[in-house]
Amino acid sequence: TDYDTFNGLVASTVAVDATSVSGFGTVGVTVYQYTNNPNGQVTNSSQISVQTTTEDPSSLPALTLVLQNNEPIDYASSALPSVMAVRCFDYESSPYVRNVTCNNGLVVNLTCPAFSKGTYNVTCPGRARTPQCKTFDGTAFVVNPLCSVLSFDAY
């Protein structure tokens, strides 16, 4: 949009691979880039709607979309699994559960044994930050098996 250009933002793009259309097929492509969030869905990238039409459904073109994050995302900040020492303080007649918050924000449960106090090791799972190719199914954004992420950076 003119607003994005004025503010130095890079616009999202859609490229159509016409070589994937067989014969003399005709393909219509309509692209909408929303400047607001019409469905109130949580997203951190630009919102694009792409609609294609063709006389021959078997020759839909391959599309390459370049989406821009609204804010830079540090994908390198993925966390490896880690081990934390957690104390069970209470001497109880039956096992009890402690919720443990890991350094990466994930919560894991530790079942403390009955009639015992002590320190136990809890393994916190790793957390990877990678972009996903999702499409809106009318209710929510879901992973689309017909779409793949080719490359990505912070924007």
**pLDDT digit string, tens, across residues 72-90:** 877 776 678 889 999 999 9
pLDDT value for 101? 92
pTM: 0.54
65 contacts 50 by C-beta, under 8 angstroms: yes
pLDDT value for 62? 81
pLDDT value for 77? 65
pLDDT value for 46? 66
